[in-house]
Amino acid sequence: MSIELRNHQLDAVKRMRNGCILCGGVGSGKSMTALAYYYLEQGGDPISLTGGEYMPMDDTRIQDLYIITTARKRDTLEWNGELIPFLMTAGTESKLYNHKVIIDSWNNIGKYSDVTDAFFIFDEQRVVGSGAWVKAFLKITVRNNWILLSATPGDTWSDYIPVFIANGFYKNRTEFIREHIIYKRFSKFPQVDRYVNTKRLIRLRDRILVDMDFDRQTVSHHEDVHVGYDVLAYKAIKRDRWNPFEDKPIKDTVSDTYSCDICGFEMQWDASDLIHG
């Protein structure tokens, strides 16, 4: 099975570095791009990423691979499919390389806090705030190589604090807050009023953010389906608050499940939801 990255993926791999955030929307191929970067970092051949013959990684220097993702992606084995073109498998099956590939969820990130000299792919942005996940993340990034994948890396500058610390831009949250955050004076709880020295924040963000310029070729097609209904029955239900299907008053806004006689579809409804006569 050959590996053939698209142009925007190859461009992203060239710009990636340890501690970066690979930013791309759904369908952009972040997972494959992340694995391609790992492949090259472990001594792989760039020719293998453009449809050429697959050349194995350098088994003498290869690092264990840990993929921290959502519980859903772990359970649906999405990442396992992405590993196949690189001749890697997760778990204990026989494989080409003498290294570990572990896929686990963010809920279990604490289990890997003491891992050293490995490569971590953090899938989806979950390192926001200062909770247990962030503490484990910072402990891991000190001793290992890592990258982070996200479609939405941060809504505010505060969301970047853990990643900035992991890259060594700040010693801790206190330093970031002291240099960049002004809190509202009369708020009952800490509430950000504004950020200062944002030019530096922009420079730091641009250093670690790798955007994938992905032009989607698909064209959305919308089709409106107009459904008729019994206008008089609809108005009567709104006026009288009476359930004509069970011949009893409507107890509250949402009644019990109703099974339509026409299509058999079951739904919860109120007067404004009635669409069948």
* DSSP for 47-81, written as a single string: GGGBTS------TTTPPPEEEEE-HHHHHTTHHHH
Domain boundary (177, 211, 245) is at 211
Q: What is the CA radius of gyration of the chain?
A: 26
Residue 13 exposed, middle or buried by CB count within 10 Å (0-12, 13-18, 19+)? buried
Helical H segments across 103-256, by residue range: 132-143, 161-166, 173-180, 198-208, 231-240
Q: How confident is the model at residue 128 (pLDDT cuts 50, 70, 90)?
A: confident
Is the model's pLDDT at 26 over the cut of 90? Answer: no
Q: Give pLDDT, residue 93.
A: 60
On whether the CB atoms of residues 19 and 166 are closer than 8 A, the answer is yes
Task: Return the pLDDT at 215.
Answer: 67
Query: 154 is in which domain, residue-wise?
Result: 7-211
Residue 226 lies in a domain: no
Beta carbons within 10 angstroms of residue 86's beta carbon: 25
For tokens 């530096």, what's the residue?
200
Give the domain CATH number at 30.
3.40.50.10810
| Most confident of the ranges 1-5, 72-76, 238-242 | 72-76
pLDDT, position 243? 83
Is 171 among the domain residues? yes
What is the tens place of the pLDDT at every residue in 213-261? Answer: 776 666 778 888 888 888 888 888 888 888 888 888 887 654 445 445 4
- Say which residues have a Cβ less than 8 Å from residue 68's Cβ, sequence separation at least 6: 104, 105, 106, 109, 112, 120, 121, 122, 123
DSSP state of 247: T
How many domains are contained in the chain? 2
User: Is 235 found in the same domain as 159?
Assistant: no
Q: Are residues 235 and 207 part of one domain?
A: no
Residues 127 and 90 in one domain: yes
Residue 194 lies in a domain: yes
1 located within any domain:
no
- Per residue in 162-198, pLDDT (tens digit) is 999 999 999 999 999 999 999 988 888 888 889 999 9
Residue 193: inside a domain, yes or no?
yes
Q: Can you give the pLDDT at residue 275?
A: 42
Q: Is residue 162 part of a domain?
A: yes
- How many CA atoms does the CB half-sphere of 230 hold within 13 Å? 11
What sign does the dihedral 204-207-208-213 (CA atoms) show? positive
Q: Give a yes or no: residue 90 inside a domain.
A: yes
Shared domain for 147 and 176, answered yes or no, is yes
Question: What global pTM score does this model have?
Answer: 0.74
- Whether 31 is in a domain gets the answer yes
**One-letter identity of residue 165:** I
Pair 186, 58 in one domain: yes
The stretch 149-157 carries a mean pLDDT of 87
**Whether 149 and 253 share a structural domain:** no
**Do 155 and 242 fall into the same domain?**
no
Are residue 202 and residue 150 in the same domain, yes or no? Answer: yes
Same-domain status, 98 and 130: yes
73/133 same-domain check = yes
Do both 159 and 250 map to the same domain? no
- Whether residue 236 sits in one domain with residue 199: no
Six-digit token string for 262: 């026409």
